[in-house]
Amino acid sequence: MRLGGVFGLLAVLLMIPAYLVGYPDALGSPAEATSYFDAGPGAFVFFNGVLPLFHILFFLLFLGVMYGVLRSTGEGTREVVGRGLPATVLAGGIAFAALEAAGLAVEIFYPATLQRFGTLEANAAFVLVSLMLSAWLYRFCQIRASVMVLTTSLVALEAGVLPRWLVIAGFVVALLTLLHFLLPLLGLWQD
C-alpha cells in the first residue's frame, strides 16, 4: 500500500514540469501560438512528452494499488460501495490516463516533428488547431479525474478508512477538477 503512495507521488511530481513549460489553454491569440514552443522543440518534447510517459506509468501503477485497496476496504461495506464504486474508480482512472496520453501526443506532435525533421514552414493555424484539440482532450480527461476522486472519497467515507478531513478534501478536489473542466467552457460562451 505504501508503494502505491510512492507511485502516486511520483506521478504528480513528473507532471509538474509539463505545466511549467506550457499548457494549451494558456494561448489567447494566433500570435501566441508561434511563441508557445519557445522552450525549443527538444525541451518541449522532453517536458511535455517524455516525462509525462513516466507520469502515466506511475499513475497506472498507483491506480492498480488504489483499486485493490478500495476493493478490500469495500468488502465490509454495503454492496454498491463494495463492488460498484471501486470499479468506477478503475474505469475513471483508465479513461483519464488514455485521454491524457492522447492530449499529450497531440500537444507535442508539432515540436516532435520539428525536432525530428528540422525546420518547417511556420503555420500558426495548424499549431492552434492541434493545441485546441489537445486542450479538449484534457477537458474530457478532467471529467474522468473528477469521477475517480469523487468515487474514491465516497468509498473512503463509507468505509471510514481515512480521516474525515481528508475525505472532505477529496470532495473539494473532485469539485475543483470538475470546475477546471467547466470554466474554459464558460469563457467560450462569452466570446
Q: Provide the terminal-to-terminal Cα distance of the chain, rounded to the nearest Å.
A: 47
Nearest CA to 35 out of 86, 95, 111 is that of 111
**Cell numbers standing for residue 37:** 514552443
Is pLDDT at 65 greater than 80 in this prediction?
yes
Give the tens place of pLDDT for each residue, 5-17. 889 889 888 888 8
Is pLDDT at 189 greater than 50 in this prediction?
no
Q: What is the pLDDT of residue 155?
A: 83
Q: What is the pLDDT of residue 188?
A: 46
Q: Is the dihedral of CA 154, 159, 160, 166 positive or negative?
A: negative
Nearest CA to 89 out of 137, 11, 146, 140 is that of 146
**Cell numbers standing for residue 69:** 485497496
- Spatial distance between the Cα atoms of 83 and 93, rounded to a whole number of angstroms: 16
Residues 118/76, Cβ–Cβ less than 8 Å: no
**Cell numbers standing for residue 122:** 511556420
The phi-psi region of residue 160 (left if phi > 0; otherwise alpha if psi is between -120 and 50; otherwise beta) is left
Residue 20 binned pLDDT confidence (cut-offs 50, 70, 90): confident
Residue 184 binned pLDDT confidence (cut-offs 50, 70, 90): low
Model confidence, pTM: 0.80
Is pLDDT at 97 greater than 90 in this prediction?
yes
User: What are the domain boundaries of the chain?
Assistant: 2-190
Residues 155/86, Cβ–Cβ less than 8 Å: yes
- Cell 500558426 belongs to 124
H helix count then E strand count, the chain:
8, 0
Q: State mean pLDDT over 71-99.
A: 78
Average pLDDT, the chain: 80
